[in-house]
Structure 1
Amino acid sequence: MTPRRLLTHLRHVDLAVPDYDKQLEFYSGVWGLTEVAGDTGLSFLAAEGSPEQYVVRLRKAEEKRLDLVAFGAATREDVDALAERLIADDVKLISTPDELGTLGGGYGFRFFDVDGRTVEVSAEVDTREHRRIEEKEAIPVRLSHVVLNSPDLGKTRAWYEKHLAFALSDTLSSPHMGEVMHFMRVNPQHHSLALAKGPHTSLHHISFELRGIDEYMRGTGRLLRAGVHKVWGPGRHMAGDNTFSYFFDPHGNTLEYTTELELLDEDSWHPHVYDFSEPEVTDQWGTANPMSELVAKESFNDPDRGCFVAPPV
């Protein structure tokens, strides 16, 4: 039986970075986020069009790692219900539900997923005063989705379905590689989370939504002119029907500019299995550099050293 859905959306993705100053300059500069708060070696970066207090947190550390992925819940009662479900299923909790001391406050807790990533779920977080992103303003409106590499794709998908009630939207597969990516959702957005087949547990990419096609292209061009390393794009995927331009941040984490991610009628939607060896599946437009093993490997990222190790903050 499918468990009751208690998550509402993706809140933020937190990164630990060795060269903190360089990363902060990149995210708050050319990438287009706004630093809204900070402390020594810790900064909170918001998207101007988003009510979330922040969408990326950077922490200075000796080793690069994914600190955590944070999701929202509607109420503190839902937070408590999820914690009880995870405890009953022997999921390892890092903390129990309580008032949060992070920016925006709220009520939440943290736990490890099946691959050892830290996940946070919270409710009643204060919203941030945000604004309408104007025409031709090529900065992120909001956080779109996060994609995670897993060495056991089926096991990770089953864990997120069983414990967090994620639903499968679509799958990428190929005749010689089998299933390589699952697109998962907790709301009508085609995916808030995707899981990719990789050689090790790591971050695949973080995606940011821009206002529209024109702003997406202007943002892509700004990064190219700034000399930021482009991994893949610009193009338009079939699964999710969204645009894509992938770039590296200064420490080799892959970031995406996107727009027009598909909104589903969940009552009538049936997942597709797309053969990603067909060029139009990876890029409907045919404008991106061709998908290849080299392009795929660039988003394998470094093995995450933070598995089953809770971040210090």
Structure 2
Amino acid sequence: MAEHTGLHSEQGARPGEHPGRARNPIVKVHDLAWVEFQKPDLRRAERFAHAFGFITTTRTDDELHLRGTNPGAPCVIIRKGPRTRFLGPAFLAVEAADLHRLADQVGRRVTQLPEALGGTGVELTDPTGLKVKVVADVGRLDGLPEQAPHAFNFGHELTRANATQRPPREPAKVQRVGHVVLQSTRYRQTLDWYLEHLGLIVSDFQYYEGQRERGPTMSFVRCDRGATPTDHHTLAMALGPANRYLHSAYQVADLDALAAGGRYLSDEGYHHSWGVGRHVEGSQIFDYWRDPDGFLVEHFSDGDMFDNSVQPGWSPFTASGLAQWGPAVTKDFLGLKPGRGTLGEMRSVLEALRADNEFDRQRLRGLVNVTRT
């Protein structure tokens, strides 16, 4: 297998550490299909979605489907409900037969998806209680015109002459959903569940400084498409004091689309969380925003692509290590900004420390040290 080099990560696992993949997974999913939310105000959600760069494909009194320019299924499904919450991710199976094999193993039924989506699906429940769909043969939306990447004069290479560079300040056109990031109080159990049930494989592990012997506390996980490269992470998972959604990420054409789209969002009065910068694990150029319901969403471009020969890297988890360049990570991104959620976060920490899970006092000290680095 290929060495994990040049990626700001240590050289793989030590003897006895997590291998980063299951020996015999039930299925190997092909990609992330979409993410689902519940929100009380669909009109407000749609206004932000259009400013962020989505296109509406379905709008009813009870449901909103949002797509990117790539062909395929919608990126985001929002269902109307009394309170704001993340409902779960949907992963795309390679073929319908995988759904039946998965359903047989977990004691669930394969069902028809709504007509607006087409295809079939099976609903699972991960160890945190989150609903996870695996779908197949969903209706395929035709591709739409994209923002063309710009031509750049890099160094001494001249690719643009007698022409100006004027990216318009307009919504960045989302191309596709890239990944979703989740937090769990039972990180190892939940990670293993995704590896065993969906055939995902780890690109990078991170651990709290001084606690490597206790195992990782963060993982960036990709689909296994064999020799075909795929996103460095389709799912990322972190240990924390509550089971919850952290953010989801959506690809745009390039840095100009991302930055000009960010200025548009700012002009419209939306809340900027962190960016622009370039991540370490995954290498994406990133920019983070909060939607009106408080959900963190990311524009990204230029991410790493790995095939299944690349071994997991191991590195310490630090706040300063979240980016190669860009502004310092914000308290808002880390969930430490004083506000209405502060009391709830303190309550989550106390409840987690009292419960039977992986988030104990030593792990809490490790997490606090992350925020200080």
TM-score, normalised with respect to structure 1 = 0.85
Aligned match of 1:90: none
Q: Cα deviations across residues 169-223 of structure 1 (Å, max 9, x unaligned)?
A: 1023331676442111114211111112222111110100001122122222222
Secondary structure of the 1:140 match is: coil
Task: Check the 8 A contact 2:110/2:122 in 1, yes or no.
Answer: yes
Q: Distance in 2 between matches of 1:63 and 1:278?
A: 31
Aligned to 2:241: 199
The amino acid of 2:300's aligned partner reads T
1:131 is aligned to 2:124: no
What TM-score do you get using the length of structure 2 for normalisation?
A: 0.72
Return the letter of the residue paired with 2:333: V
Would the alpha carbon gap of residues 102 and 184 (structure 1) be closer, same or farther in structure 2, given more than 3 Å must change? Answer: farther
Whether 1:229 and 2:290 are equivalent positions in the alignment is: no
Q: Which amino acid aligns with 1:17?
A: K
Identity of matched residues, %: 26
1:282 pairs, out of 322, 328, 337, with: 322
Tell me whether 1:296 sits opposite 2:341 in the alignment: no
Displacement of 1:66 in angstroms is: 1.4
Show the counterpart of 2:368.
none
Could you tell me how far apart the structure 1 residues matched to 2:145 and 2:211 are? 43
Structure 1 pair 209–83 and aligned structure 2 pair: CA distance change class (3 A): same
Pairing 1:184–2:221 present: yes
Q: 1:19 to 1:266 in 2, by over 3 A?
A: same
Per the alignment, in what secondary structure is the counterpart of residue 7 of structure 1? coil
Residue 24 of structure 1, aligned match among 13, 27, 46: 46
Q: Which residue of 2 aligns with 1:86?
A: 106
What is the letter of the counterpart of residue 65 of structure 2? Answer: F
Cα distance between partner residues in 2 of 1:171 and 1:42: 37
Amino acid at match of 2:76: V
Distance 2:319 2:292 in 1: 32
* Paired residue secondary structure (2:197): helix
> If each structure's strand is expressed as a fraction of its own residues, which one has the higher value?
1
Query: Structure 1 62/156 Cα, relative in aligned 2: closer, same or farther at 3 Å?
Result: same
**Aligned match of 1:44 in 42, 65, 82?**
65
- The aligned counterpart of 1:240 is 282
Assess, with a 3 A threshold, how the Cα gap between structure 1 residues 225 and 289 changes in structure 2: closer, same or farther.
Answer: farther
- Residue 193 of structure 2: aligned partner: 159
Cα shift readout 1:134-188 (whole Å, capped 9, x = no counterpart): 2257221111111111112111111111222111110233316764421111142
- Per-residue CA deviation, residues 265-289 of structure 1 (Å, 9 max, x unaligned), is 322x11112223273x31111x223
Partner residue in 1 for 2:94: 74
Q: 1:247 to 1:151 in 2, by over 3 A?
A: same
Q: By how many angstroms is 1:102 displaced? A: 4.2
Distance, in Å, in 2 between the alignment partners of 1:102 and 1:180 is 40
Partner residue in 1 for 2:30: 8
Greater CA radius of gyration, 1 or 2? 2
Distance 1:102 1:146 in 2: 25
Partners of 1:30 and 1:251 in 2: how far apart? 15
- Counterpart in 2 of 1:311? none
Structure 1 residue ranges without an equivalent (≥5): 88-92, 304-313
Of Structure 1 and Structure 2, the greater helix share is in 2
Matching residue within 285, 298, 306 for 1:256: 298
**Bigger mean CA deviation after superposition, 70-79 or 16-25:** 16-25
Separation in 2 of the partners of 1:275 and 1:74? 34
| Length, aligned pairs only | 290
